[in-house]
Structure 1
């Protein structure tokens, strides 16, 4: 897989004051160009564009291309979880919204110290592993926004995850509030890419 992904957090808009007013024909053209160049990784999430991103991915990508033409990633909205049953409810909603049938990559979204506690309380890791065992997820992991020490704690507790998605920006490589280098080194230590 080529190493460039298509992020679906900031689609072009018809009205800059309405994040749901996505310019669908332009997004279709963007997906066409992306796939024509041999790229395949598409990343969306439940809250992007106030819940509309996954629907637009369905219309502009899933409904227009064979399933094997792309790799789709989306994220469990950890910040909305209240109880264990919420994991299945949101997951099933995401399958319906995207129409993808399965997710190539499924992430527990935006783990921080607080949201990791929520994920533990709601058994999000066990849920994601179960979806993988059922074939509804090909690989599962989490996106992370905290300290290298917290990342080490999570990866030590959950060696079953296939990957971790980090906030890597070379300008933040040594920034104390992001600690890109430290987080990257922890992920490498745990053999996660």
Structure 2
């Protein structure tokens, strides 16, 4: 039976697999993916992560073709996720789980997650009996370990872990640009998981590829220290260096990306003091070029009659401008809006602008944001 090796912390995410047609996410290149799986397993790694919606519901089938049909079941660890965002009632859980077993052609999953938990999804999953279903799967031997992936603030994570100590692990978005983000809260969420004694699997360590393709000014800071190290290596090693992290997922799309990841994760060494200082400098550079120079002081919110989460919306907008559609900006916008005024609710009273130390034309920016995120 395959088991996690603390020295082999690179997980293979099946969210960005190689494609035959770059415009068609269902056109997965099974031959190339199979070669990548062969190389990955040959180097002693074993954790494969998929999910119901990846590649427009073709990822699980691709995993079956490239991995399950070609290797004995004890040669790898397979993780899958319950698509909670598609669940409309208690009866959906069994239906989706059976479909996933059939797509992957396995009898059990080693790791199984409630997908994309946040406050709204947590309340819904609780109402539909999702946590009880997870415990049932484990008791029946259909799942070895149960947990959830998470996209929300640390206080929500604490609420979930307090209510459900049976959850064995948490999957978090963690990378150096989101480390102190008030939207993603990578550091705070990791600290919360550690406080509850839950090991962490990292997703989006390179922020959907954004930290693998840095502006020249930022890339040069890394090259000065290690000319041959890729920007992606800095991002993945940062995540893997954190206490409490047991696995770092990388959504590899080519053999070259796989080889790059293997080059520094086969014999993993945590980042040293000088390397962490370099990452801090790169983070400063990336923040300097943000679209809206908001510091999240929140003075603007104090007098807002519509209770608009201005810093939250600005942060989501900045992330989108820097990293495109990676990390699902629409999702983060909706979550910033829960229980608060939307950007389009602005009545142009301009009271916020009188409180802004950065002299941002907040009203104008809210119009832009509303046009992008509220179509």
Instruction: Identify the match of residue 187 of structure 1 among 190, 193, 204.
Output: 193
Following superposition, the deviation at residue 99 of structure 1 comes to 0.7
Equivalences for 1:1-193 in 2 at 5 Å?
Answer: 1=4, 2-193=8-199
Q: Distance in 1 between matches of 2:124 and 2:59?
A: 24
Farther off after superposition, 111-120 or 101-110: 111-120
Q: In 2, distance between residues paired with 1:185 and 1:15?
A: 41
Equivalent residue of 1:170, what SS?
coil
Structure 1 residues 44-102: Cα deviation after superposition (integer angstroms, max 9, x where no partner): 00000010000000011000000000000000000000000100000000000001210
Tell me the CA shift for residue 27 of structure 1.
0.4
Q: Once the 2 structures are TM-superposed, how far is the Cα of residue 22 of structure 1 from its aligned partner?
A: 0.4
In 1, Cα distance between equivalents of 2:124 and 2:66: 33
More divergent stretch after superposition (162-171 vs 150-159): 162-171
Q: What is the TM-score normalised by the length of structure 1?
A: 0.99
Structure with more of its chain in strand, by fraction: 1
Gaps of 5+ in 1: none
Number of residue-to-residue matches in the alignment: 193
RMSD between aligned residues: 0.6
CA distance in structure 2 between the aligned counterparts of 1:58 and 1:129, rounded to whole angstroms:
25
Aligned to 1:106, the other structure's residue is in SS state strand
Structure 2-normalised TM-score? 0.51
| Displacement of 1:23 | 0.4
Equivalent pair of 1:87/1:122 in contact (CA under 8 Å): no
